[in-house]
Structure 1
């Protein structure tokens, strides 16, 4: 993340919270930046009308509700007080945060395509003319002169992007209640959020889910006593929208508007959007009056909610189409009219079935759950973890499955990829715009996609990459005179590819890193058609840019005669020059070289598989041979972050960019490059065992690759006890979802890795390569490997008991456990079961 914005965020933290201790309250910066002094005794419909961070549920909670006695559930004994305590639901397009209020309920809504801004070419035509001089200055160690010149000539125009925005909020006020034995929960196995409590002699239940097939969010209120449900409901947004009754329907509200943004001619260019809520009651009455939907004396009420925008879509943007004729209001009306014809039970069943075909692929068990833990709510278990300094194993298993849940809920085929907050953002201007940060964050979002058997969820990222190719090609030509496509350190829904935010945004490695993901998708799925039509074109385009961008370092420089990047930047770090001044620009940053090595290596392999582009393959091979190598500092024994062995301004910096080759790359390995692996270990030790949420997740993965499960577990404990919010969202701070995804991938790689290859190119499946002592006994089912295998395994006392490999593709199966390796030939669909000694178990046994 961009350091300057982090500083602003931290400043707001201090200013707004006024000393409230974050570890106790878990209220983030951005949950308080619109806190108002409303009278909490008033119902929502009578307050000042502003959407606020703090929600005042006037209900009194009594008794002690018992949570669901099953695995994969988050549950709590009071309603959420702030957004970071609310529970997320989503179908990849529609998202909501459910607060679970009793007297006052708040449901915050998102629609994945509701972005500020519009498509425009931000490439700077002055950049190409200045590029040779910027390079000369950097090679002559005039770093800050280069920074100054680049800042004046190479930044995008505009040099900022617009944010992803909240759709709006539903506000309910209901009778003042003394809620007995209250429980709100999120069942990860069904993707249904539930609220239940007793009020006098009645039991009230509320279920909420987001169905992907119908693109409808459903909230159903039921009560054990007839005619006992009543509430007032408002639908509103902080800006750019109006809420009106739906024509010819006195049981529905329509929110519609247009994001207020104009182009240079003054023309309004913002996205048009709409959201509609429709109430269907059993018994009682429903009416809309003065902008309030009211329900009286109903036995059950089902709310159907949908939303739409006129965003053209990533597939259209990839074709150069930047506008759309979609009418959001008509889309909403059509969607709801169809949804309400389906009985609730059928809609719920359809939702569960569709969701579980993804979620049920993987199961995890990390040992027996103590009876004392079963009685603790999720926030109580987090509090206990903070006291103990580590989370219990069952909470870790839930956290792992929560990461998978969030990916399914925020990234569905045909939709938008998960952004910095996944799908869920309550502000008009969320932290770091809730954009797609391409210098690690959006890539980290997809680290669990393949290994946790959610390959389909990976597809939206490739759609985004394809949408970036055309604007990225223009930026490559305009700013660098290069072929191929380029993306810098961030992008948005509109295809922004130019440098942004400041000179540190002149980091043209985003496309090259994004090109790793389609290759990984091919490695896990073996989808040759995808490799040919999607992966290879993206990879080749990114590689063509790099082939043109690389320059030979002149005599007298640290990498003389070798190919390096220039200008170069190691996200988002600074260093001290020999004259004592601080700078960010250099040439040949180690991360650049590792990303390029990764990209060119994969291009060579892909071109061989497809039997195409022999000349291009040769150029990639020759470039690899001339690429500056990873270097080890003679003074510290660590991996050098820059071409020069500069002193760091922040030795514990959150980014560990120069270890890309360890993870997510595979250039540094314990067995293949032991000297580099040892230098990487020293680098991680020096960086320390703390960090932001996502930074910890990255380092956990790196310790896994070094096969040090106990150290990985130590950092996982830090993540869960210091950087996890009450609803298990990752806390940068503030909330960023990448830490959830990165940690889910890390937990999986403790049990299974498959990045190493044999001499013939087959992948080696490593069992329990980084198993912590804390996970002495357990089982996982359904994890994926490169080469197309699905693995189930059990272990006890730290040793493998059995492992079963099901081949999706057929081919060679190489299995490694400790120092022992075995090999088998498999047919597509065949399963191979091995015992703890890697001996094949026949059906007769």
Structure 2
């Protein structure tokens, strides 16, 4: 049996049990119902409304007044004024929307079904549903093809001529378990958010609709049924297949965000024509080939001490229940790791938008937190595994998005702050909106979103060492740095700090007992600035250009605060060592310098590393890590501190407390960043490269005594394979993309390797570090 499968012995009763498929733009959630199958559909560019100019023209006039109030300690007045003049107008951005739902009515009853199985094959990127009923064995296959830009659903039966079902599309408030007959009798609510539904001359079902709001995005979805044997009947609102041997359903969708509204239907039909010109076998093979070119780069095998290393014969939800009961299951951890990579492949491909708060899988017309881009941690976390887990192409949509933020962010920087460069706050949407979002004192006025995102550009360079990419990215990084140079002000200690700002999304307690959030110089801001300025300086040196600007940044860095240690031995969160209103807050922003930053490291800053450990202990002692993404961040931080058992404990807690039956991360509710953070954290436990060397097995826990990993990436342009047994390294194999050298460390000792030609592997074993 293929162990790389997430599987269940029953259909999904709720959306959080369905299985996701996607090709970057077109996503689906497969329920696997026998009687009425449901595939819930999303297209990544279907968002509510159109672009807005939300920059507040009153902001600049009052900026200095707000700063004076903050520096004077008159926080309540500063926050009151900011809530009036520093917000976006209007204060809210746009939200993501679903396309609709595709329903297939088989006419079968669940009571007659035997041998049911629903699975996601992670080696092929295909969802399958199999069952037996009325002497026939039925198979359904589902995948979303990147090469052909269609979703494919294949239905077959072991008995010739026994396949009959009806297909209906809906977009509205009517959901299962509403009886099919009731939907057909009362279709108005079912089609509440559609403009038109019908068939074209070829017999394709054509669905048209729009998002709300003035200038709202329009969409088109086209569905073609290819029937083998039997016949296809168009009844107006539905297509019916009768007595067929097999049927293939092809789905294409697009919006006028990318295609003119006049051409949307033609574009969808063109995709269907191209896909239908292939046999199903060829369509499937092309999908598998494309998908395997990405998923197959990394293999991970984790084995425990038990004689039974794999529990793959158990349904995945039962394996999760075992973990919640205290059992170990290293093989499920490996499955979870690859599922995270699968989700990134499925939600972020060249040409798509970046993965949002829910990837591309959203069922709600008004989703939680708008299902948009939250850029004070969540969007960034979505891309933590992109480089280390060998999916650098999947990083591309984020880079495209940053360039659009750069355009909008220049307007916001000039209008609201009188600064050069570009800025983005803590949220954005499909239109790359950069004005402040909401009226929330703990997050709205934070101006570091663009700067943090630009660090992903440097990461991509660091992992691949593509100088031409760096040459293109440098201007964007410089623009983010320019804004900060202009925005920084002197604090009472003559340091350069941001003001106003906040430490996302925590509050402090003033000596008089009042709580506040608005502040100057929160630790996270200074840490991001130090990271960005340092990368700009390095880029200037590598490219041998803009050296004068690099010198300006060096001088500014001399006055940007370093991480400080507070009264509890913790990394100080604010410029003043305040008490925290919530010591167990979900955000741990002041440990940015530990992860994903590089300013706190075990070897180079041991005192700060100890303080970081104290910070994590305090957060967890007071209930921190209670959301999925927060637990994933903590996992990565413990891995950076080389605390193998604590990293493993938090990984298991992520699975126990913040993982839904289909392995989606539960904030709660569903938010995909915890999946990506968890996958990156597992990689971080096995390989690190942030401190100038390749560190093998830095946080290997006792629960994984035996294992191997192939294809992880390390900074400097290296690919690494590792194998271990009885908790100790057996061997590591390192390949370089270019000639050069690197330092490799294991258990506190370091060796130097030199690579004479690209791609030539060098194998190291444990005895290489023996003195």
Instruction: Please state which band the TM-score falls in when normalised by the shorter chain.
Output: over 0.9
CA distance in 2 between counterparts of 1:823 and 1:629 reads: 31
CA distance in 2 between counterparts of 1:146 and 1:326 reads: 50
| Count of aligned positions | 741
Stretch moving more, 237-246 or 640-649 = 237-246
1:675 paired to 2:613: no
CA distance in 1 between counterparts of 2:150 and 2:708 reads: 36
Query: Residue deviations 1:249-289, cap 9 Å, x none?
Result: 33x31110121211xxxxxx011101111111111111111
CA RMSD of aligned residues (A): 1.3
User: Residue 362 of structure 2 is aligned with which of 420, 425, 429?
Assistant: 425
Contact preservation (8 Å) 2:41, 2:98: yes
CA distance in 2 between counterparts of 1:301 and 1:789 reads: 46
Q: Paired residue for 1:191?
A: 125
User: Residue 347 of structure 1 is aligned with which of 283, 287, 298?
Assistant: 283
CA distance in 2 between counterparts of 1:537 and 1:326 reads: 37
CA distance in 2 between counterparts of 1:426 and 1:135 reads: 42
1:712 paired to 2:647: yes
Q: Paired residue for 1:333?
A: 269
CA positional deviation for 1:327:
2.2
CA distance in 1 between counterparts of 2:720 and 2:522 reads: 38
Secondary structure of the corresponding residue to residue 295 of structure 1: strand
Per the alignment, do residues 541 and 372 of structure 1 end up closer, same or farther by CA in structure 2, a change over 3 Å counting? closer
Q: Paired residue for 2:754?
A: 825
Contact preservation (8 Å) 1:391, 1:721: no
Per the alignment, do residues 395 and 156 of structure 1 end up closer, same or farther by CA in structure 2, a change over 3 Å counting? same
Contact preservation (8 Å) 1:477, 1:483: yes
User: Residue 62 of structure 2 is aligned with which of 124, 130, 146?
Assistant: 130
CA distance in 2 between counterparts of 1:437 and 1:781 reads: 32
Q: Paired residue for 1:86?
A: 18
Q: Paired residue for 1:256?
A: 208
Query: Residue deviations 1:809-829, cap 9 Å, x none?
Result: 221121001121111210212
CA distance in 2 between counterparts of 1:839 and 1:650 reads: 45
1:529 paired to 2:468: yes
Q: Report matched runs for 1:615-634 at 5 Å.
A: 615-634=548-567
CA distance in 2 between counterparts of 1:643 and 1:626 reads: 13
Contact preservation (8 Å) 1:487, 1:497: yes
Contact preservation (8 Å) 2:193, 2:210: yes
CA distance in 2 between counterparts of 1:128 and 1:707 reads: 45
Contact preservation (8 Å) 2:642, 2:699: yes
1:793 paired to 2:722: yes
CA distance in 1 between counterparts of 2:284 and 2:509 reads: 59
Q: Report matched runs for 1:464-503 at 5 Å.
A: 464-502=401-439, 503=441
Q: Provide structure 1 residue ranges, at least 5 long, that are not aligned to the other structure.
A: 1-68, 263-268, 314-323, 555-559, 758-763, 841-845
Q: Paired residue for 2:705?
A: 776
Q: Paired residue for 1:281?
A: 227
Q: Paired residue for 1:804?
A: 733
Q: Paired residue for 2:445?
A: 506
User: Residue 245 of structure 1 is aligned with which of 178, 193, 198?
Assistant: 198
Q: Paired residue for 1:4?
A: none
CA positional deviation for 1:202:
1.1
CA distance in 1 between counterparts of 2:193 and 2:312 reads: 46
1:663 paired to 2:609: no
CA distance in 2 between counterparts of 1:597 and 1:331 reads: 47
Contact preservation (8 Å) 1:253, 1:288: no
Q: Paired residue for 1:18?
A: none
CA positional deviation for 1:200:
2.6
- Structure 1 stretches of 4+ moved >4 Å: none
Secondary structure of the corresponding residue to residue 606 of structure 1: helix
Q: Report matched runs for 1:324-403 at 5 Å.
A: 324=260, 327-367=263-303, 370=308, 373-388=311-326, 391-403=328-340
Query: Residue deviations 1:101-125, cap 9 Å, x none?
Result: 1011110001011111212221111
Query: Residue deviations 1:67-113, cap 9 Å, x none?
Result: xx212210001100000000000000110000001011110001011
CA distance in 1 between counterparts of 2:83 and 2:504 reads: 17
Contact preservation (8 Å) 2:687, 2:697: yes
User: Residue 632 of structure 2 is aligned with which of 697, 703, 714?
Assistant: 697
Secondary structure of the corresponding residue to residue 773 of structure 1: coil
Contact preservation (8 Å) 2:9, 2:315: yes
CA positional deviation for 1:240:
3.0
Q: TM-score, normalised by structure 2?
A: 0.95
Q: Paired residue for 2:137?
A: 203
Q: TM-score, normalised by structure 1?
A: 0.86
1:723 paired to 2:658: yes
Contact preservation (8 Å) 2:122, 2:342: yes
